[in-house]
Amino acid sequence: MKVLVLVKQTFDTEAKIELKDGKISDAGINMIINPYDEVAVEEGIRLKEKGIATEVVVVSAGADKAIEAIRTALAMGADRGVLVQQDVAADEFARAKALAKVISEQAPSLVLAGHVAADDGSSQVPTRIAEILGWPHINVATTLEIADGKATCNCEADGGSQVIEVALPAVISTQVSLNEPRYPSMKGIMQAKKKPVDTVAAEAVESKTKIVEFSLPAAKAAGKKVTGEPADLAKEIANFIKNEAKIEIKK
Amino acid sequence: MAGTWIFVEQRNGNIRKVTFEMLSEAQKWGDEVSAVVFGKGVAGLAPELAKYGAAKVYVADADVFAQYNTGAFVAQLAAMIAEYKPNAVLFAHTFNGRDLAARISQKLELGLATDCIAAEISAGKGVFTRSIYAGKALAKVEVAGDPVMATIRAGVFEVVEKAGAGEVVNVAVAATAADVYQNVKEFIPTVSARPELTEADVVCSGGRGCKGPEGIALVEQLADLMGGAVGGSRAAIDSGWLGHEYQVGQTGKVVNPTLYVAAGISGAIQHLAGMSSSKYIVAINTDEEAPIFGVSDVGAVGDLFKVIPALIDELKK
Ligand SMILES: Cc1cc2nc3c(=O)[nH]c(=O)nc-3n(C[C@H](O)[C@H](O)[C@H](O)COP(=O)(O)OP(=O)(O)OC[C@H]3O[C@@H](n4cnc5c(N)ncnc54)[C@H](O)[C@@H]3O)c2cc1C
Ligand SMILES: Nc1ncnc2c1ncn2[C@@H]1O[C@H](COP(=O)(O)O)[C@@H](O)[C@H]1O
């Protein structure tokens, strides 16, 4: 079975965000694989190690430098990559269209993705891809089992969690608790350099949405810092909770 | 045209507060606001929805809607959009809401703005504010579409009562059991007497500084005194002191309470992403330099094992 993993290259989660000419500046930003996608890559590699997957293909849409994210995934143990050259400003609709086209061509039995991108965090792309392909999708998966042409996952749900089973081919979006991604080994990094990465141009699809303004949130002014005996601190906080925040106390 | 539709989030007949928040906010845009509810035996929810201004309540009542499933819900909503032609459809940014919204948007080849914290819709266009880069930046997104589609974060809009006609429209059921392709083998509800984390007015969270279940128990006592929910930092969750569903932050839940209390939490950027938009923030931390103090209204430099018991006594006075 062929497994395809979607990886988005994102800013390091520690990155400080600055605006330049009204846009988010990527100057000096350390780029990483979206943390959820790293979990998806790890899961794909584990499926191969278990003998369930025969090949793990990593696909990323974005600027040329997104190839670094693909190389990292290859160093972890994925087999080959496809870079879909696309304007990073493409919206979820255009990205889903471009990625779904590559997925159709690659014809995997399973697509693994993150459940949200840590940058623009829209939680749309895998769901849209599943709709385009007419496949089932399990979202926010915390476990994954593949057997008898089916995928079964525990996943987060509103008001609890649930166990869902779907027939393959399917899209599964991961939560970080699914696994602990490995670090690429030195040998893995050397091997990754020789693994094939194809580059394709994205299908020309117009975005349906447009970002008209970026801004930085007003910095929350730090309030009062209080020190002293626990009893004094307690008085200060209690006064704030009752009189400022006006929270009702259940005695 | 059928105005603005609010897709109702409910489980077993209990409507989630975010639905009322959306109904209330949508009144500001001038268009007629209606609610859309799918379920089994849900017609009785209409009066509750009318209380927040729903002019009509579109009800799709059938066994196939008894619990959320993508296939049947998408089929039903697609049929209704084609028939009634709403100008906009808003969903809650819950697991189900975002699944349905993204799926239907793709099916109809529409744009979608997700997890919005501000919204304005007029003349077939929606302008939505989204928090991006884990709250470190904001983006204003324009969505033109027929209908305009968005999902809304819980807790950002105020609930305002306003009597609506609440006229029940029983719609034709367009989905069948054949549309269901996910087999939900088990649903495990979170059993808690406390409110849902994303909807609570008060959230008290504990971090590594709680040092173990005893510290978390103090945080829980404090939360209960205020009818609040309990949350935790990733360190507290990874240590196994709280279940995964209680994590607040970038990889956990985003909360928007009136009051957030952080006890023994340093305030890493990934934690701040989940709580810094709280109206009031109180932090208790032994380290005077802890970054959490940078976003706190009241920052108490002290040992939570001493401060929380004293605070509980003080609040009870
Ligand atoms: C991709 C990614 C995603 C992440 N997502 C999340 C997320 O969703 N949520 C999240 O929380 N973290 C997340 N993290 C982890 C985050 O970076 C921090 O590691 C984590 O928030 C630290 O938790 P903490 O504040 O409880 O622990 P620490 O940083 O260890 O802080 C403990 C604090 O307790 C204080 N303390 C100790 N003893 C006491 C006492 N007796 N009384 C009072 N204070 C005391 C200490 O001074 C210290 O400030 C993520 C990290 C990454 C890389
Ligand atoms: N440009 C992209 N290239 C590859 N995968 C992507 C891209 N954008 C989104 N994805 C996948 O879709 C998931 C959710 O992204 P989003 O819908 O943008 O929050 C990510 O975790 C990725 O797995």
Asked if A237 lies within 8 A of B307 by C-beta distance, the reply is yes
Q: Are residues B113 and B211 in the same domain?
A: no
Q: Where are the alpha helices (DSSP H) in B210-297?
A: 213-225, 234-238, 269-275
Residue B35 lies in a domain: yes
List the one residue out of A70, A73, A135 whose CA is nearest residue A108. A135
Residue B174 lies in a domain: yes
- Ligand 1 within 6 A of CB of B205: no
Q: Are residues B65 and B173 in the same domain?
A: yes
Minimal Cα distance from A17: which residue of B?
A: B136
Domain final residue, candidates B145, B179, B213: B179
List the one residue out of B276, B42, B1 whose CA is nearest residue B137. B276
Residue B186 lies in a domain: no
Asked if A96 lies within 8 A of B196 by C-beta distance, the reply is no
β A224-226/A160-167 pair status: unpaired
- Ligand 1 within 6 A of CB of B228: no
| Rounded-to-integer distance, Cα A10 and Cα B2, Å | 40
- State residue B135's pLDDT score: 87
The order of strands in the sheet holding B202-206 is: A224-226, B298-301, B280-285, B259-263, B202-206, B229-232
Identify the sign of the CA torsion B258, B263, B265, B266. positive
- State residue A64's pLDDT score: 97
- Domain total of chain B: 2
Give the SS3 label for residue A182.
coil
List the one residue out of A241, A233, A160 whose CA is nearest residue B204. A241
Say which CATH number the domain at B168 has: 3.40.50.620
Cα Rg of chain A (Å, integer): 22
Q: Are residues B169 and B21 in the same domain?
A: yes
B residues 176-195 lying closer than 8 A (beta carbon) to A = 181-190
Give the SS3 label for residue A121.
coil
- Indicate the top mutation candidate among A125, A132, A171, A205 to test ligand 2's pocket, ranked by most ligand atoms within 8 A of CB: A125
What ligand is nearest to the CA atom of residue A83? 2
Asked if A247 lies within 8 A of B226 by C-beta distance, the reply is yes
Residue B187 lies in a domain: no
Q: How far is CA B298 from CA A33, A64, A241, B11, B312, in A?
A: 37, 46, 10, 37, 16
Q: Are residues B166 and B287 in the same domain?
A: no
- State residue B93's pLDDT score: 96
Residue B191 lies in a domain: no
CB of B245 within 8 Å of a chain A CB? The answer is: yes
Asked if A122 lies within 8 A of B114 by C-beta distance, the reply is yes
Q: Phi and psi for B56 in degrees, rounded to 5?
A: -125, 155
Q: Phi and psi for A224 in degrees, rounded to 5?
A: -95, 135
CB of A52 within 8 Å of a chain B CB? The answer is: no
CB of A156 within 8 Å of a chain B CB? The answer is: yes
Structure tokens at B135: 């709250």
- State residue A223's pLDDT score: 84
- Contact indicator for B118, B124 with CB cutoff of 8 Å: no
| Rounded-to-integer distance, Cα B98 and Cα B11, Å | 16
Q: How far is CA A29 from CA A16, A26, A36, A67, B115, in A?
A: 8, 5, 19, 16, 25
Q: Are residues B82 and B137 in the same domain?
A: yes
CB of B103 within 8 Å of a chain A CB? The answer is: yes
Q: Where are the alpha helices (DSSP H) in A117-207?
A: 125-133, 186-192
Of ligand 1's listed atoms, the one at least distance from the Cα of B305 is 41
| Rounded-to-integer distance, Cα B56 and Cα B33, Å | 7
Structure tokens at A152: 């079964």
List the one residue out of B114, B139, B156 whose CA is nearest residue B277. B156
- For atom 30 of ligand 1, the residue with the nearest CA is B208
Q: Which chain B residues are within 8 Å of A138, Cβ to Cβ?
A: 182
Of ligand 1's listed atoms, the one at least distance from the Cα of B304 is 42
- Contact indicator for B87, B121 with CB cutoff of 8 Å: yes
> What b/e readout covers A139-162, taking b as 16+ CB neighbours within 10 angstroms?
bbbbebebeeeebbbbbbbbbebb
Q: How far is CA A22 from CA A212, B137, B161, in A?
A: 10, 12, 39
- State residue B1's pLDDT score: 63
pLDDT (tens place) for every residue of chain A, 251 residues total: 999 999 999 999 889 999 999 999 999 999 999 999 999 999 999 999 999 999 999 999 999 999 999 999 999 999 999 999 999 999 999 999 999 999 999 999 999 999 999 998 899 999 999 999 999 999 999 999 999 999 999 999 988 899 999 999 999 999 999 999 999 999 999 999 999 999 999 988 999 999 999 999 887 777 889 999 999 999 999 999 999 999 999 87
| Rounded-to-integer distance, Cα B68 and Cα B58, Å | 17
- Centroid of ligand 2 to alpha carbon of A16 (angstroms): 21
Q: Are residues B159 and B275 in the same domain?
A: no
pLDDT digits (tens, 9 = 90+) for B239-297: 999 998 899 998 889 999 999 999 999 999 999 999 998 999 999 999 999 999 999 99
B interface mutation test: which of A32, A93, A161, A209 has the most B CBs within 10 A? A209
List the one residue out of B106, B108, B99, B53 whose CA is nearest residue B80. B108
- State residue B191's pLDDT score: 82
Q: With a cut of 50, list the residues of chain B below it in pLDDT.
A: none
In this prediction the ipTM stands at: 0.93
- Contact indicator for B312, B221 with CB cutoff of 8 Å: yes
Note the Cα B12 to chain centre separation in Å: 17
What ligand is nearest to the CA atom of residue A113? 2
- Centroid of ligand 1 to alpha carbon of B262 (angstroms): 10
Identify the sign of the CA torsion B95, B98, B101, B104. negative
CATH match for A2-201 among 3.40.50.11720, 3.10.450.50, 3.40.50.620, 3.30.420.40: 3.40.50.620
CB of A41 within 8 Å of a chain B CB? The answer is: no
- Ligand 2 within 6 A of CB of A6: yes
Domain final residue, candidates B179, B194, B217: B179
Domain that holds residue B233: 202-316
Q: Are residues B150 and B212 in the same domain?
A: no
- For atom 18 of ligand 1, the residue with the nearest CA is B268
- Contact indicator for B117, B220 with CB cutoff of 8 Å: no
Q: Are residues B158 and B227 in the same domain?
A: no
Structure tokens at B79: 């049929």
